[in-house]
Amino acid sequence: MRRGRQLIFCEVKAKTGDRFGHPWEAVTPEKERRVRRAVDAWLAARPELADLDVELEAVAVRGRRIERAPIG
């Protein structure tokens, strides 16, 4: 997502019930590393975006509730 000079990459996790835990539990340190590597590769291929402010976020969706948190 881009808004002005801010570019946000977002990892979305959704769960339909409590049976398999909260969506945040799926955002492990390994998942964070993979997301960061993917973002770095994507940005490396687009040097024209190098001057933007880049953020990584995780979004947890549970039913109608949405929560956001920074990654890393």
Q: Pairing between strand 2-3 and 6-15? A: antiparallel
Domain boundaries along the sequence of the chain: 2-70
Residue 24: pLDDT above 90? no
pLDDT band, very low/low/confident/very high, at 15 (cuts 50, 70, 90) = confident
pTM score of the predicted model: 0.81
| CATH architecture of the region 2-70 | 3-Layer(aba) Sandwich (3.40)
Residue 72: pLDDT above 90? no
pLDDT digits (tens, 9 = 90+) for 40-57: 999 999 999 999 999 999
DSSP 53: E
Instruction: Report the chain's mean pLDDT, rounded to a whole number.
Output: 91
- Cβ atoms 65, 16 nearer than 8 A: no
